[in-house]
Amino acid sequence: MSFDHRDDGTAEAVWMAAGVGELPALPARAWTRADTLLVAVAHPDDETLGAAGLIRAALRGGAAVHVAVATAGEASHPDSPTHTPADLVRLRRAEMDHALAALADGLGPDAGALTWESLALPDGGLTDRPDEVRAALERVLAGRTPAEEGGGAVVLVSHDPDDGHGDHDAVGAAAAALAADHDLELYAFPLWLWHWGAPEDLAPRRYRRLELAAGDDAARLAALDAHASQTRPLSAAPGDEAILPERMIAHFTRGFETYRRTAPDDADASRASAVFDRLYREHEDPWRYLTSPYEARKRALTLAVLPRPRYGTVVEAGASIGVLTAALAERAERVVGLEASQVAVERAAAHLAEIPHAEVRRAVLPADWPADVGPAEEGAGAPADLVVASEIGYFLQPEELDALVDAADASLGAGGELLLCHWRQPITGWPLDGDAVHDRVAADPRWRLLSEHVEADLRLSVHARAAAATHAVAVVPAMDEAEHLPAGLDALSAALDLWEAQHTQGSAAVVTVVPADDAPTLEAAHAARARDPRIRVLELAPGAGGVGRARAAAARHARGLFPDVPAEALWLASTDADTRVPADWLVGQPALAARRRADGQVLVLGTVDLPAHADDDLAHRWRADYEHREDHPHVHGANLGLPWGLYERAGGFAEVAEHEDVRLAEAVRALGEDRVLATDRVRVHTSSRLEGRTPGGFAGFLRGLLEEGAAEG
């Protein structure tokens, strides 16, 4: 995270408009004189900004409150011409005394004691000292833990570990680990999030409101005023500016504070590492993945419900020691397992040592989703074909589960699948159970249930992207294409296989249209039909109209294959004989259309690329000029698709010698801009030949690129 306190940041009005004032309320906590609130913060003033109300609530109930400040705040003004770091240490210590006196003011004689200490760690350097931060907080906790069992609760309050400020994140992470290790209640608050964040950051963070009691707001303002070195300039000289400008302070004049509470009875992802590290240290194989007949059968069922025989990239969320990871690797080119426990990750590495295309990484989900898996336009490399979330959903809060599913959705290719597998018995200390996890995803309109297996102890479900289309036909004009057509139709057969895996048998077909006098191409087409009867061959009598006539004839024939299917539910895709489509091309088009419009009535315009064997100079010139991105400007008959109803409304393919695809796109666009989706998420590879079948076609364009290069040389 990179930001500057001098930036304008997100205005308080934006947060209020987004509903921050309407977050759910925190359950009231009854404090007693036996309780201790331990406040762990990075700098003097963090306690006032983040936890003034909670501190006063604990004091009001008679609890002892101890504030542990990791640093003295000596690096707040690194360019100050008037104050050295030593000066700032002295100044901020005095400010801290005055601020805490203000927080304790007016609470009466029965209030608890408020104390503080500095841990003397370097300001601005905590990110590089996680072990020192953790050890320092351990020492503080040891001094505050009741000697006798049942002597009262110790409650922690600290930074949100994803606040964006390195020191805040380091202290927050250490406090979260400490709370998980010692089964303590923890309240985590944001500070700089309000400056750099945006309203969409709220939902997955699971924040709740703590309303301020009478007098708390005034005490907070007085304490904040005591931290004068942060709220007012040290001097008029450059480098002495206030660290907390008015626009930042505005976030801390609300009538409430914001926290994420976690506890042994209400855990979330922030506890995962510590909880599972402890479990794996105590047990070599805590769930008996290697020895349990139940676990072996569950793995077999998981593999059995997968629709495809083989996958490219698989992401496994909740990989544990890598046993299922290894099984998935038998069906995939690459498996990336994600696991919160470092101890489990180390055991997984040993288990997968002989499987080079499988790995398990340490990742606390949903925050640590791998950046190297996802759509190419986002720079992540190859998207995933499958995400497996096995026995992890109920270790997340509902908002965190939603964020995990969002991350899976973003990383999956257009035809990607999501597999869930969870135990169905009660889960203690976590908010969800297995059925709740599956029901939550099943209710998400982005997904469509492909299959489900339910037993007393187990629930398995496979989901694909939702789409309005139930049937699909791809049309392929072919003239003088005996050389390229077989490979193109083989690729389409694979696309039909995936369509049927995600829909029903017999619900998709290919129509290739060939001139009746083109014997070699007809022979190649009929040979492909002999291999795959889902491929239909339409012989076209000689006549005017060229490729436009061929596509239009193929489309009419395609409609006749499924006469009883509603026009809105039949997807019509178009490609070329010299083009190789990926396996998820056919399922991907209508899935992306449904994301654009709920009814799926959208023309999808995909992109093309050259094959790997293309001439290097040609490929370089082509990619320098072509725009592989969302909302690209290209139209290719080799890569487009739309529902039959929309095709009819637009007038279909014009029976012209060339540019019938462009005319169709223009006609659909005239029906509304939201009817067209130009995307790079469905990309095909087309021939790099320089002699084409139409004068203004793709081959002529490539030839022009080389001619331009020759002229430049």
According to the model, what pLDDT value does residue 149 have? 59
Q: Tell me which of 696 and 468 has the higher pLDDT.
A: 468
Which amino acid is residue 191, in one-letter code? L
* CATH number of the domain residue 103 falls in: 3.40.50.10320
Confidence grade of residue 376 (pLDDT, cut at 50, 70, 90): low
Residue 189 lies in a domain: yes
Q: Is the pLDDT of residue 77 over 80?
A: yes
Are 514 and 479 in contact by the 8 Å Cβ rule? The answer is yes
Q: Is the pLDDT of residue 24 over 60?
A: yes
According to the model, what pLDDT value does residue 441 have? 97
Residue 309 lies in a domain: yes
- Cα–Cα distance for residue pair 30/35, rounded to 1 Å: 10
Are 637 and 576 in contact by the 8 Å Cβ rule? The answer is yes
Shared domain for 285 and 247, answered yes or no, is: no
Shared domain for 251 and 289, answered yes or no, is: no
Q: What are phi and psi of 618, to 5 degrees?
A: -65, -45
* CATH number of the domain residue 527 falls in: 3.90.550.10
Shared domain for 257 and 323, answered yes or no, is: no
Token pair 């959705």: residue: 409
According to the model, what pLDDT value does residue 499 have? 98
Domain-ending residue, one of 437, 465, 493: 465
Residue 1 lies in a domain: no
- Give the number of other Cβ atoms within 10 Å of residue 482's Cβ: 18
- Cα–Cα distance for residue pair 417/95, rounded to 1 Å: 56
Shared domain for 406 and 537, answered yes or no, is: no
**C-alpha distances in angstroms, 172 versus 59, 163, 167, 270, 337?**
22, 9, 8, 10, 26
Say what angle helices 216-226 and 85-104 make with each other, to 10 degrees: 160
Shared domain for 498 and 645, answered yes or no, is: yes
The pTM of this model reads 0.84
Model pLDDT for residues 257-287, shown as the tens digit of each residue = 999 999 988 888 888 888 899 889 999 999 9
Are 436 and 443 in contact by the 8 Å Cβ rule? The answer is no
Average the pLDDT over 110-120 and give the result. Answer: 96
Confidence grade of residue 201 (pLDDT, cut at 50, 70, 90): confident
According to the model, what pLDDT value does residue 8 have? 80
3-state secondary structure of 241: coil
Residue 333 lies in a domain: yes
Token pair 């809060």: residue: 397
* CATH number of the domain residue 458 falls in: 3.40.50.150
What is the 3-class SS of 606-645, one letter each residue?
EEEECCCCCCHHHHHHHHHHCCCCCCCCCCCCCCEEEEHH
Confidence grade of residue 691 (pLDDT, cut at 50, 70, 90): low
Give the whole-number percent of the chain exceeding pLDDT 70: 93
According to the model, what pLDDT value does residue 613 have? 66
Which amino acid is residue 679, in one-letter code? T
Are 137 and 154 in contact by the 8 Å Cβ rule? The answer is no
Pairing mode of beta strands 412-423, 208-211:
unpaired
Instruction: Write out the two tokens for 558.
Output: 């395609």
Shared domain for 484 and 412, answered yes or no, is: no
End-to-end, the C-alpha distance of the chain in Å comes to 46
Shared domain for 387 and 490, answered yes or no, is: no
Model pLDDT for residues 276-320, shown as the tens digit of each residue = 998 899 999 999 999 999 999 999 999 999 999 999 999 999 999
According to the model, what pLDDT value does residue 127 have? 96
Mean pLDDT is lowest, of 176-190, 484-498, 530-544, 697-711, for 697-711
Token pair 């308080």: residue: 12
Instruction: Write out the two tokens for 176.
Output: 């979260």
Phi-psi region of 292 (alpha: psi -120 to 50; beta: other; left: phi over 0): beta
Q: What are phi and psi of 375, to 5 degrees?
A: -60, 145
Q: Among 169, 88, 170, 72, which Cα is nearest to 120's? A: 72
Q: Is the pLDDT of residue 701 over 70?
A: no
Q: Is the pLDDT of residue 378 over 70?
A: no
Confidence grade of residue 685 (pLDDT, cut at 50, 70, 90): very high
- Give the number of other Cβ atoms within 10 Å of residue 353's Cβ: 10
The count of residues in the chain is: 713
According to the model, what pLDDT value does residue 2 have? 57
Confidence grade of residue 698 (pLDDT, cut at 50, 70, 90): low
**C-alpha distances in angstroms, 438 versus 1, 393, 449, 588, 648?**
33, 9, 10, 23, 39
Pairing mode of beta strands 384-390, 154-159:
unpaired
Confidence grade of residue 624 (pLDDT, cut at 50, 70, 90): confident
Shared domain for 205 and 229, answered yes or no, is: yes
Cα-trace Rg, the chain: 31
Buried-exposed string 260-292: b where 16+ CB fall within 10 A, e elsewhere: bbbbeeebbbbbbbbbbbeebeeeebebebeee
How high does pLDDT run on average in the chain?
A: 92
Residue 702 lies in a domain: yes
Domain that holds residue 623: 471-710
According to the model, what pLDDT value does residue 337 have? 98
Q: Is the pLDDT of residue 125 over 80?
A: yes
Q: Is the pLDDT of residue 386 over 90?
A: yes
Number of domains in the chain: 3
Q: Is the pLDDT of residue 6 over 80?
A: no
Residue 270 lies in a domain: no
What is the maximal distance between C-alpha atoms in the chain? 103
Residue 156 lies in a domain: yes
According to the model, what pLDDT value does residue 555 have? 98
Mean pLDDT is lowest, of 197-201, 325-329, 521-525, for 197-201
Question: At a CB cut-off of 8 Å and minimum separation 6, what does 379 contact?
Answer: none
- Cα–Cα distance for residue pair 192/308, rounded to 1 Å: 46
The secondary structure of the chain in percent helix, strand, coil, rounded to multiples of 5, reads: 40, 20, 40
Domain-ending residue, one of 465, 487, 509: 465
